[in-house]
Homo-oligomer: A and B are copies of this chain.
Amino acid sequence: MYRSLPLKDIQITDPFFTARIETARKVTIPYMWETLNDRVPGVAPSHCIENFRIAAGLQEGEFHGFWFQDTDLWKWIEGVAYSLATHPDADLEKTVDEAIDLAGKAQQEDGYLDTYYIVKGIDKRFTNLRDHHEMYVAGHMFEAAAAYYEATGKRKLLDMACRVADCFDANFGPEEEKLHGYPGHEEIEVGLAKLYRVTGEEKYIRLAKYFLDVRGQQPHYYDQEAAKRGETQIAWSHLRYPQKPYTYYQAHVPVREQKEANGHAVRQLYLLSGMADVGSMAGDSTLVEAADTVFDNIIHKQMYITGGVGSTHEGEAFSFDYDLPPERCYTETCASIALAMTASRLNRIAPNGRYGDTVERTLYNGILSGVSLDGTKYFYINPLEVWPDRCVRRQDMHVDPERMGWFGCACCPPNVLRTLTGLGNYIYAADEESLLVDQYIASKVDTEAAGQKIAFTMEANFPWDGKVRMTMNSAASFRLMLRKPWWAKTWSLTLNGELVEASLANGYLTLESAFAAGDVIELDLPMEVRFMNATLRSPNYVGKTALMRGPVVYCLEEKDNGGELWNLSVKAVEAEASHREDLLGGVTTITCQGLRQEGEGDLYNEDAYAEKAQQLTFVPYYAWGNRGRGEMAVWVRKA
């Protein structure tokens, strides 16, 4: 079992990510705090802190917002905690402590803490696990508590979280007198796993395992629960998924029998993350294997080239194998984050390059596209093709052609925040003998790993350049495992300038050595422009190509190529990459020869359209939509 290196031990110096992390720290964190307090003019009030004040008896009023509104605070604290781990900030910590104190005042005698039910009637709690997200809220609280404890050493939030967990443990479990339910929106499983990791309390991992074991069993808890509520209406999710009731919740069959991704994409991936965590911590390999089976289905049959997942707006959900429409998709930012979470967790159990490849694909594409370059605007949905007229004038599109400032359901912004401030979690991992380098994000490390003190500096300029240089800052003897990205057709590895024959297994180049201080390991992963195809099983991409270079997916924007992108086609199989510091915060663009169809025919005609040579300019997909409204396309016809 591998573990990520502690965030505190990693100082990120990456030229690509540093600016984004700084924006998250300096812009997003204070901005979000203001929104949680309803102090941002022009933004719909969150009511999040107000709900806590009301629940704490400090203020009169009604609960407002979604039944999971509390998570806005918990996700914010988690994101702040990761930041504090490497960038202490006494003022910010004081703000968090005050928020924790406030929440503490709302916590009930028996540990229960969910402002929705505390304000609206606590007698109704635990009556609608299918829809009402109490466990989801708790899971995010546990993640925040573990992160804040690890960052600051302060126990108050952790103790509060344990009391919440104890409350669930007292009410749920296999014992006859307890409830046998489980969450409609998974998340408590990963939260409990973190509580277990931090506290060592076995009951927490046992409870998480119970939630996984009981999920989807017959007679169905959601049927029983709905009957108890006297519900006569058919659940929304049944209407939408009549052929497979409860697939929306991944509760149609027990989790070990699920072979493909189904339903709400974020829930599916939080479930897989929980299965990986619980399976490894509780020693149940059947959970890990089941998670891996569904993960495989996703990356081989249900994932967009950007690492986006969720092909349909209906239920923000997976649809079915090879159904990957580029324009009318969901590909929520949170779902890509959740895919990275799952991949990273599976990699900690049995390292394999495909996991790190997946994290990399999401990080440089489908996650980063969710936030504007200045860090202030967000996409909830990340389509691969946008015709703004269609987004705006077809009311069935559900796709915004431009990023927006904030959402009523503000799940993506804090999720991006915690991903950026917690980026260190994805870079390295170690066990007793080995250190894995999963992402080539430049950083300075000083840690205990593989049974010793390890200190080194990693220099890199991803995703624009494939040269990575590690300099050992202390002597250490261990197995260094460097992920060889799927896109690197060739590579070279040197130690102090001498070529090294490294073995390649499971996607890792492995170098076992007694390193001396000052040793320099250089890995060169040449980045070439690749003209990608999609499988012929998918109807949307036949005859089209998507350009990639290294881990970056490219796209055409109207700004660079004129309108009606659909009339363009790629002619050359040669392309030129050039770095432009002045563009989009500094990006490598790709140019290649293309053709533009031209002609003014009737709606339907037999004209021979003219084709005119046009140089095509591609920019990184993650950076699209930062220069005003316009068309965008990842997949382009081949001439």
Contacts and interface: CB of A to CB of B under 8 A. Distances in A.
Interface of A: 240-241, 243, 299-301, 303, 305, 311-315, 319-320, 323, 328, 387, 389-390, 392-396, 530-539, 542-543, 546, 564, 566-567, 569, 597-607, 609, 637
A243 B396 CA distance: 14
B532 A300 contact: no
Nearest to A538: B603
Q: Which of A305, A536, A538 has the most CB of B within 10 A?
A: A536
A312 B313 CA distance: 16
A591 B337 CA distance: 49
Contacts of A537: 564
Given A394-B319, A542-B637, A536 B603 contact: no
Given A569-B543, A602-B535, A606-B530, A393 B300 contact: no
A238 to B, nearest CB: 11
Contacts of A542: 566-567, 597, 637
A320 B393 contact: yes
A314 B536 contact: no
A533 B605 contact: yes
Number of copies: 2
B531 A606 contact: yes
A607 B315 contact: no
B609 A533 contact: yes
A312 B535 contact: no
Contacts of A241: 395
A395 B396 CA distance: 13
A536 B601 contact: yes
A233 B37 CA distance: 29
A314 B637 contact: no
A602 B300 contact: yes
Contacts of A320: 389, 393-394
A323 B393 contact: yes
Nearest to A323: B390
A87 B313 CA distance: 52
Nearest to A544: B543
Contacts of A323: 389-390, 393-394
B312 A533 contact: no
Contacts of A567: 536, 542
Contact of A533 (B390, B532, B538, B606): B606
Contacts of A240: 395
B599 A319 contact: no
A301 B396 contact: no
Contact of A312 (B387, B395, B530, B536): B395
B539 A564 contact: yes
Instruction: Provide the main secondary structure of the chain A interface.
Output: loop
A549 to B, nearest CB: 13
Given A311-B394, A543-B597, 11 more contacts: A301-B603, A323-B390, A530-B606, A533-B606, A535-B602, A535-B604, A535-B605, A536-B567, A536-B598, A538-B603, A542-B566
A125 B97 CA distance: 63
Given A300-B602, A606-B530, A395 B535 contact: no
Nearest to A301: B603
B394 A535 contact: no
A3 B471 CA distance: 92
A543 B565 CA distance: 13
Nearest to A305: B604
25 contacts: A243-B393, A299-B603, A301-B603, A312-B394, A312-B396, A313-B396, A314-B395, A319-B394, A323-B389, A323-B390, A323-B393, A396-B396, A530-B606, A532-B604, A532-B606, A533-B604, A534-B603, A534-B604, A534-B605, A535-B602, A535-B603, A536-B597, A536-B609, A537-B564, A543-B543
Q: Which of A389, A532, A536, A603 has the most CB of B within 10 A?
A: A603
A301 to B, nearest CB: 6
Given A300-B603, A303-B603, A542-B637, A319 B393 contact: yes
A617 to B, nearest CB: 20
Contacts of A530: 606
B314 A394 contact: yes
Contacts of A301: 603
A299 B603 CA distance: 8
B312 A607 contact: no
Nearest to A601: B535
Nearest to A537: B564
A630 to B, nearest CB: 14
A319 B389 CA distance: 10
A372 B387 CA distance: 36
A222 B272 CA distance: 52
A320 to B, nearest CB: 4
A487 to B, nearest CB: 10
Contacts of A319: 390, 393-394
A583 B428 CA distance: 65
Contacts of A601: 533, 535-536
A506 to B, nearest CB: 17
Nearest to A299: B603
Q: Which 4 A-B pairs have the closest CB atoms?
A: A539-B566, A314-B396, A314-B395, A320-B393
